[in-house]
Structure 1
Amino acid sequence: MDNLTPGTTAAPRFAIAVQSKNGPHGTDPFFEELLTGMEEALDQHGATVFLRQFSSYQDELDAYPLWAESGAVDAVVVVDSQDEDSRAGLCVKLGLPVVVLGGPAGDGVSLVDVDNSGAMEMAVDFLADLGHKTIGRVSGPAHLHHTKSRSLAFEQALAARDVTGLSAEGNYSAESGAARTRDMLSGAKRPTAIVYDNSIMAVAGLEAARRLGLKVPEEVSLLAWDDGPHCRLADPPLSVVSLDVYELGRIVAAVLMQTYSGALQTVVHVPTARIVQRGSTSGWPSAGSDSKLADPALRPRP
């Protein structure tokens, strides 16, 4: 995805470093849309951005001194923050301008803050308002900062609405989305709705539910995180927690340019996402007088 020739370009060049263990970033619609927004905004300044994937946290750490020393990269975007994360601090020490996407903030670091907690609370409220009393969640990797924020908000929102929750950890891949959905829907206490931490897992979860013989949304409602063509083209189309990822990319690009130009510790708060309801969610019980569907414990096993 990139072709670095150190020291040969005068135009600003920015990098987003990701780790393969944290998800299929190269094919994730979120990152595709994010990069599209960034590229179009940066093109106005003659700047470019590339996505570089690393196999481990240490490999990513090792790249920053090389980038700073060679001048091959002029600023970086740090994503998928985690506990005891030293990447942004290292970039500051190296004199490499850095923008953190999603938080947390740090000294000498610019921040594009995404309200993951508010969006998760909105998701639970949406499903609870539809009458769902048992809500499942397939999360991203548990060690990530934004996963922790969503998990805490999920538990707090469940308690506030007196709703039962079930959680399972995925890794943003289709395989994990399908596997965690099968586990939840085959358990003794099945959720009547599931929210997924990304759209790839949600689309796979839809197919897994169908293979179990369950109707969506009549027997289980599904809610994806982030929108995309594959959500709109699914059958039924997936309801989503929708953040304008293209516009997010443009915002990140603007903060990158400001930080690269010397405006360190620029902080921008992105507006909270919204719910777009489509065919994968409905009120519960959605089958009217059919008590077997109204109580998941009484439904026939797939």
Structure 2
Amino acid sequence: MNKKSKVVSYNKWGYIFLIPFTVIFLIFQLVPLATTIYNSFFENYRSGLTQIGPNFVGLQNYGTIIANGDLPTYFINTMIMWLMGFIPQILLSLLLGAWFTDPSLRLKCQTFFKTVIYLPNLIMASAFAMLFFTLFSDSGPINSMLMQIGVFKEAYQFMSHVWTVRTLVATMNCLMWFGNTTILLMAGMLGIDPSLFEAAQVDGATSTQIFYKITLPLLRPILIFVMITSLIGGLQMFDVPQILTNGTGDPMRSSMTLIMYLNKHLFSKNYGLAGALSVFLFVITGILSLIVFKFTNSDKVK
């Protein structure tokens, strides 16, 4: 009887430690989510100095967003820039993780290099965007160097071309997050039993075969986590393209993301449309995360 009461007593502390998280989640996440969904069914905006609403309009806000055709365009913009940044990011992180965790290479100053590759993650995205805006402006140092070495005769307008702007956004996202991804992948690689690598080497497996046949399959849980969290972060991409394009998404709205589109409704105080767009974003995020999880979480290890 005493043993059972001790178990109950210990379990009680687990619930006590969960209270802060539960309270914060309810106040700062669940309540705003419910409020957003509630506001999406109302007409609520400001026209000049006149406040319109809140008036219940049902699904009208959802119909408006679908009818104007902007949602697919900005969704495609967001996914293109996310993929352009995520693909080199994951490849670079896998390569660095494999190097740092390979005992046969005996790399020196590992702690220093691990710190250096993580440092960009500590820089504010706004500062990063301002730096790139200055570097690649018409009168910036990049244009000056390219003209001095004869690549261009006159300044190249990086901010006026669709793919250069998208490439700059993707490059910044890659530089800011590859260090964090590398640390996560390294943690997964270090958790793999070294005896598996030793057995493979004894059997004559090459480094490439070990990586593809042992490391990658056993890294699957970490890779799924990285892909889903990166996807969610990509769909929430805002600060870098917002500052780089001064909130316009130019040229021709090709760098306008879903959150920038949402911010325009919030800035104009159109809370009904902003709420409906937030719900669409929530659903899209859930569907894409489920697709990634299903396609990468196969029970069969090839």
TM-score, normalised to structure 2, is 0.22
Q: Which has the higher helix share?
A: 2
Greater share of strand residues, 1 or 2?
Answer: 1
